[in-house]
Chains A and B, each alone.
Chain A
Amino acid sequence: MSLISTLARLEAVETGRAQPSATVRHRHLSDHPLVLVPLTTAGEAGAPLGALVGTDRDHPRLLTVTQPRDRDLRFAFLAQLAECVLPYIETYADTVETAERNELDPETGKKAKVEVELCADAPQLIVPSRAGIDFVRLLGRSMRFRRTAEEDPETPYPAPPRVPLLGRWLTHYGERARVPGSSLLLATTDLLNRHWATGQSTLEDQHLGALLAWIDPPDGERGAGAALRAEVDRDPKGQLSCPPAGPATDPAFDNKLLAPAIERHDRARQALATAEDGLAADAHLAELAAAERQIRTVLEAVMRPTWDAVWRGIDQLRTLPEGTRAMDRWTRDRWSFTGHRDRVRAGEPPQPRRDDAVTAARKLASRETAQAQLEAQEALDDPLVMAGRRLAGEAFAGEVVDVTMAWSESKRPSPRPLIAFRTDDAPHLAERAKVHRSLEGKPQSAEFVRYEDDGTLVLRLVNGMGRSKDPAPGTVPEKGDRICWTLFEHSSRGGPELPAQEDTPWTHGGPPGPAAESTAEAPDPVTSEDVL
């Protein structure tokens, strides 16, 4: 945490309200995001309990599992989830625009521009918390290797038709969420924490209710008091008035409300199975339906506050104007979405359980690039972020006090004007250090020459002035101009290029041999042992 954000937190403590830690919104928000509030069963891996899902804040779709340990009910839930999520994803898959991309021509071995499809927009998934992102990833993992009856008639427990496909999409979204600055799958708490500083610690900020209490406190109340109520307030039955944002549930909810409801449902089911005549069966059926309704009611009651909180969070975020360069990152998300759409359409197998060494190295390199890019772009979009970089000595702002024309000493002299620059910041400048500024959206560089005796900096402008002997108009700053220079590059080039596939070093498994052909993974062995 930088001193500036610490200061913001302290101000939040003093004023009783969250303070801004950004002046623009650094993540793209779709006009129609799909919000997913999932719940999971305590102690069971990947056993969903229920979910609220949808794009309409007033009418979420409620999905529940009345007995989380029943495999058929779980599959039914996942099939319903697929019917909610996949049509939403598919509406974006067919609206495309054409874009150009550099591709390696397999015949000539040269890079050439090819025209490819790029989806005009991408579906965006929003979950309440970071644990929700992990749960999306877990659901994806649990579904993508399942086999449907159509794929494998022999499989003992076939999955409903669209479930494996949903698994692949959720896996893709879960993986994409690991790329810094990506916005395909977002957690509301992360979004809010990026843009506001509260008067509590980062640990307490993971509680969505408490976080919103600081950002948007109820009338006249101070953040700390409202947050405390969100954390601990319970109704006379011992239930939290602000239930946890999930996917984990509150133990008191499990023990006092959910367990009796599930037990009632189990009893009704058993009674129905052993009913002796039609009349008794009808009565049991009615009891079963009532028990199911009860489970749905308690689950909806515990998820609805979180659902509303997510939308309140989105409202808060929409009050900020979107950063200019957030759109650039969203374009990358659209590429990612289009890429996965193409892989699914080409009939490629689901993502492997573990990445091979080459894929892992690629992913790591691209995430490092994305991180560097995100840091640079956020600073350029937002003076408050830039202030942090200036405090850290990674950027400096000030005024041009003098410009002296000079030229390079080559055969064709190019302009190399010297700029005298005054700043109150304390940048960490080494000799001949490169500094950058943004000139109408394009970066221009200069190098540090020396400090004058009065503390003025001398910089030599080295590019972005056109090809002729005299600089193009408007490319050289004038006396009195205010400029913010950065020591970091504006668009990161990433590390050195990774070797071609046939040159893969032995450390990463060597060049692909014939053995590498069959990459499709076997599905998880399903046994009757699974307490599903």
Chain B
Amino acid sequence: MLAQALGSPAAFGQSQFAFMRGNAFEAKVKADGGAELMRLLYGRMGDPDRPEPVDVRTPDLSAAGPEGRAARTALALREATESGGWTLMDHPMLALEVAGSPAFLEPDAVVVAPDGRWTVVEIKSFPMIDASADAAKVGAAARQSAVYVLALERVAARTAGASVHDRVLLVCPKDFSNLPTASVVDVRKQLSVTRRQLTRLTRIEDIADALPEGTTFDPELPREDLTAAVAQVEAAYAPECLAACELAFHCRDRSRAAGAVEALGRSVRGELGGLRTVDAVLAAARGEAGDPADPTVSALRRAAALRSEALGGAAC
């Protein structure tokens, strides 16, 4: 809405075909009290010396509001851990503090084993063809699951006898069929990355404190006022933002208008040392500005000379 009001809308949305297919697949995996899911879990992560899961409990986690559901989930997790049996939690609700404000997360499922270990289950509708899936999608699923594991760890810390598995079960359709297959994904790396990022995030209060009194991002405001208000918050635009953020087109406009070299990619910025804008780089390359003793400037001049020589002296 804010992006729309700023005049740079970005389209994010899901096709109803993908949505329907995803829901149908998840329902199929969880059918019969999660029998298929438990079979996959035991097959991939189970200890062959221990008995197969029987009498899997599936507690009712419904409650009013996200806070209520999160409290209900924490209670159910404690009960499940104490019971010493198998429990499948369908869409539990977890709370995690992000930048000083709580965010509510809803994993597809969490399984509690008799030994008190909790495992996150992520159900995705992209296929696993010949036992391998699209690496980018698996990576995204792993990052997502790592956040769930982190949130679960906060609950487990307050629950006796509980621990959270640092491997998650990824369930996907097999080949071109609708049959589920599963794979164990190690998320230890994603966990440590997410942990570090969470501690480094600037708290929302600190950002709000830095803004002038009375700043609002009301989409009803005139566009110029709104743009000025948004400009108060510093944004570090990089092209990767386009895939993730609704304000990315707005930030790109600003970044391009400022002539920032980051708009061409983070790696470009790395090559150009202290030169931050397009004009500065081109001026340095043409010998109009810059200190020739600076290695970046001299490299740029050489590059420009070689390029114009190769192009027959036409450009530059």
A and B interact: yes
Residues in A lying within 8 Å of B, measured CB to CB: 1-4, 6-11, 13-14, 19-20, 23, 41-46, 68, 138, 141-142, 199-204, 224, 228, 231-232, 240, 249-252, 254-255, 258-259, 353-354, 382-384, 386-388, 390-391, 524, 527, 529-532
A138 and B13 contact, CB distance less than 8 A:
no
Shortest B153–chain A CB gap in Å is 32
B17 and A42 contact, CB distance less than 8 A:
yes
Name the one of A9, A250, A252 contacting B264, with C-beta atoms under 8 angstroms. A9
**Which residues of A lie under 8 Å from residue B259 when comparing CB positions?**
13
B175 and A524 contact, CB distance less than 8 A:
yes
A204 and B239 contact, CB distance less than 8 A:
yes
Name the one of B16, B240, B300 contacting A203, with C-beta atoms under 8 angstroms. B240
A203 and B242 contact, CB distance less than 8 A:
yes
A530 and B263 contact, CB distance less than 8 A:
no
Task: Using known A-B contacts A10-B264, A387-B307, determine if residue A530 contacts B178 with beta carbons closer than 8 Å.
Answer: yes
Task: Using known A-B contacts A204-B239, A251-B13, A254-B17, determine if residue A7 contacts B307 with beta carbons closer than 8 Å.
Answer: yes
A3 and B17 contact, CB distance less than 8 A:
no
Chain B contact residues, majority secondary structure: helix
A45 and B249 contact, CB distance less than 8 A:
no
Q: For A19, A200, A249, which residue has the most chain B Cβ atoms within 10 angstroms?
A: A200
B264 and A255 contact, CB distance less than 8 A:
no
Q: Which of B65-73, B85-93, B124-132 lies at the binding interface?
A: B124-132
A383 and B175 contact, CB distance less than 8 A:
no
Name the one of B271, B302, B307 contacting A384, with C-beta atoms under 8 angstroms. B307
A8 and B281 contact, CB distance less than 8 A:
no
Q: Does B18 contact A (CB under 8 A)?
A: yes
Q: Does B138 contact A (CB under 8 A)?
A: no
Q: Does B289 contact A (CB under 8 A)?
A: no
Name 22 interchain pairs, CB-CB below 8 A, sorted by A: A2-B303, A7-B281, A7-B300, A13-B278, A14-B278, A14-B279, A19-B315, A42-B14, A42-B18, A46-B176, A201-B239, A203-B239, A228-B249, A240-B11, A250-B11, A251-B14, A252-B11, A252-B13, A384-B311, A387-B309, A391-B302, A524-B176
Shortest B287–chain A CB gap in Å is 13
**Which residues of A lie under 8 Å from residue B240 when comparing CB positions?**
203
Shortest A178–chain B CB gap in Å is 15
Q: Does B101 contact A (CB under 8 A)?
A: no
Q: A45-B176, A252-B11, A524-B175 are in contact. List 8 more A-B contacts (CB 8 A).
A: A4-B306, A6-B271, A14-B279, A43-B17, A200-B263, A203-B243, A249-B15, A531-B21
4 nearest A-B pairs in the assembled complex, by CB-CB distance: A43-B18, A42-B15, A43-B21, A45-B127
Q: For A20, A251, A255, A391, which residue has the most chain B Cβ atoms within 10 angstroms?
A: A251
Q: Does B282 contact A (CB under 8 A)?
A: yes
Task: Using known A-B contacts A11-B315, A43-B22, A232-B10, determine if residue A391 contacts B303 with beta carbons closer than 8 Å.
Answer: yes
**Which residues of B lie under 8 Å from residue A199 when comparing CB positions?**
264
Q: For A6, A8, A46, A386, which residue has the most chain B Cβ atoms within 10 angstroms?
A: A6
Q: For B15, B127, B178, B315, which residue has the most chain A Cβ atoms within 10 angstroms?
A: B15
Give Cα A101 to B269, complex, Å: 49
Q: For B126, B239, B307, B309, which residue has the most chain A Cβ atoms within 10 angstroms?
A: B307
Closest residue to B128 on the A side, CB-wise?
A45
**Which residues of A lie under 8 Å from residue B17 when comparing CB positions?**
41-44, 68, 254, 258-259
Closest residue to A9 on the B side, CB-wise?
B264
Give Cα A1 to B303, complex, Å: 13
**Which residues of A lie under 8 Å from residue B13 when comparing CB positions?**
251-252, 255
**Which residues of B lie under 8 Å from residue A386 when comparing CB positions?**
310
A383 and B310 contact, CB distance less than 8 A:
yes
Give Cα A387 to B249, complex, Å: 35
Residues facing A in B138-174 (CB within 8 A) are 173
Shortest A295–chain B CB gap in Å is 14
Q: Does B179 contact A (CB under 8 A)?
A: yes
**Which residues of B lie under 8 Å from residue A249 when comparing CB positions?**
15
**Which residues of B lie under 8 Å from residue A527 when comparing CB positions?**
177, 179
Task: Using known A-B contacts A142-B176, A353-B130, A524-B176, determine if residue A23 contacts B311 with beta carbons closer than 8 Å.
Answer: yes
